Amino acid sequence: MSLRNGRHQLSIPGPSVIPDRVLNAMHRQMPNIYEGALADLADSVIADLPGVARTSGHAFIGICNGHGAWEMALSNTLSRGDRVLVLESGRFAVGWGEYARRLGIEVEVLNAPPRRGVSPAAVEARLREDSEHAIRAVLVVQVDTASSVWNDIAAIRRAIDAAGHPALYMVDCIASMGCVPFEMDAWGVDVTVGGAQKGLMVPPGIAFNWANQKALAAHREAGLRTAYWDWTPRMGEGEVYLRFAGTAPIPHLYGLREALDMIAEEGLENIWHRHAVLARAVRAAVAAWSAPGGLEFVIVDPEARADSVTTLYTNGVDASRLRRICEDEAGLTLGIGLGEQFSGKAFRIGHMGHLNPPMALGTLGTIEAALAAMAAPMTASGVAAASRVIAGEMAAGMVPELAKAGE
Ligand SMILES: Cc1ncc(COP(=O)(O)O)c(C=O)c1O
């Protein structure tokens, strides 16, 4: 007999839980696709998207997943034979590099130290060596969803500047946009790539590029532009058909409108803060569970642990069995270990997007129950540790009347 009936909890690092408001906004009949409300809607989301990336640059919506947005970014800014430097810190920057290679771009990979984030000093040293400026772009992810590392995007920009290198700085924020601080303009990012289905709380199917003036200048020279991905025809205001190189992704645009409204209502800083607190709660639980022969953080540097996803090595604990118990007995889906390094040896907790303490604590409590059911080694209660983090936040944020009542 299983306990799983009830509302299923999806705690993978994307797609994330979609708010009912977004789902309801998407459920509608198709409008006139050439003019009127749909054109206004497209204009409004394209006008509001730059705010989420903190840029005055231009936003483009691709009818695709994150992989499509990678290709859109590369093909609009680079030419066959160009060289890019990929800053590896897990799986996804390397995946992006692989897409570049398939487009005829020369790819060089600079590895991060094992289980740590990209080293800005190593980036600076490599770029200093490139005195001819053969490297046309630097590609990095802000959060690698496989390793759950967070890379310091501002520090890497300082490293590029210290080397005096003119390469385009291209950042994949698919697993971090709308979750952790990101300042495209202030940090000198030229191209940002995002997806709908994580922090932005919209089902998969649309993904984004943001481009600043430097990227748009590179675009004018880019030899890899294709009819479908080309940014230029997508820039005309009101031309809704051209903006999407065909029929618009209508339900997704309504969903995105609602999600952007929700983000504006809560405020990006509050969203970042909520993610930071819930991530601290998750990490407190993982630290309490950690034990010889049991679970441990993949990322050894506490400063480099992401606020949107946490990957745990399971060592002597069977990761697949743990996930199966959570899924089949309790209705909780956890993320698998991705790629050769993690498959069967790790699992991931997604803590991104539409998430609050009951959802996060429910996930942690269910994992803890499954660990106990498996007689897995644990040093202490992760739920108790996570609750203390939430309690601290509640006490700090309590409105005065509630604080008094508790005295
Ligand atoms: C950081 C990062 N980049 C790229 C992708 C690829 O996105 P998609 O699966 O939507 O193609 C993902 C997906 O998890 C991701 O986490």
Q: Which of 207, 237, 264 is the last residue of a domain?
A: 264
43 lies in a domain? yes
State the total domains in the chain.
2
- What is the reported pLDDT for 397? 82
Residue 178 CA, chain-centre distance (Å), reads 8
Q: Which of 264, 289, 322 is the last residue of a domain?
A: 264
Q: What is the pLDDT of residues 290-319, one digit of tens each?
A: 999 999 999 999 999 999 999 999 999 999
Query: Is residue 31 lining ligand 1, measured as CB closer than 6 Å?
Result: no
26 lies in a domain? no
Query: Domain check: are 222 and 300 in the same one?
Result: no
Query: Is residue 172 lining ligand 1, measured as CB closer than 6 Å?
Result: yes
Q: Which of 230, 264, 298 is the last residue of a domain?
A: 264
Query: Domain check: are 237 and 346 in the same one?
Result: no
Query: Domain check: are 68 and 163 in the same one?
Result: yes
Query: Domain check: are 305 and 218 in the same one?
Result: no
pLDDT for residue 265 is more than 60: yes
pLDDT for residue 69 is more than 70: yes
CATH of the domain at 344: 3.90.1150.10
Query: Domain check: are 257 and 271 in the same one?
Result: no
Query: Is residue 169 lining ligand 1, measured as CB closer than 6 Å?
Result: no
Per the structure, the complete domain to which residue 237 belongs is given by: 31-264
- What is the reported pLDDT for 238? 64
Query: Is residue 175 lining ligand 1, measured as CB closer than 6 Å?
Result: yes
Residue indicated by tokens 């770029």: 127
Query: Is residue 335 lining ligand 1, measured as CB closer than 6 Å?
Result: no
Q: Number of helices and strands (H, E) in the chain?
A: 14, 14
Nearest-angstrom CA–CA distance, 29 and 27: 7
Q: Whose CA is closest to 171, among 139, 208, 213?
A: 139
4 lies in a domain? no
Query: Domain check: are 246 and 337 in the same one?
Result: no
Q: What values do phi and psi take at 6, rounded to 5?
A: 135, -170
254 lies in a domain? yes
23 lies in a domain? no
Residue 321's identity, in one-letter code, is R
**C-alpha 374 – ligand 1 centre gap (Å):** 32
- Ligand 1, atom 5: closest residue by C-alpha: 66
CATH of the domain at 205: 3.40.640.10
Q: The whole model's pTM is what? A: 0.97
Distance set, CA 160 to CA 56, 100, 182 (Å): 22, 21, 18
Q: What is the pLDDT of residues 93-131, one digit of tens each?
A: 999 999 999 999 999 999 999 999 999 999 999 999 999
How confident is the prediction for the chain on average, in pLDDT? 96
Query: Domain check: are 211 and 301 in the same one?
Result: no
Residue to substitute in 10, 64, 72, 145 for testing ligand 1 pocket (most ligand atoms within 8 angstroms of CB): 145
Q: Whose CA is closest to 304, among 53, 95, 113?
A: 113
Nearest-angstrom CA–CA distance, 321 and 19: 30
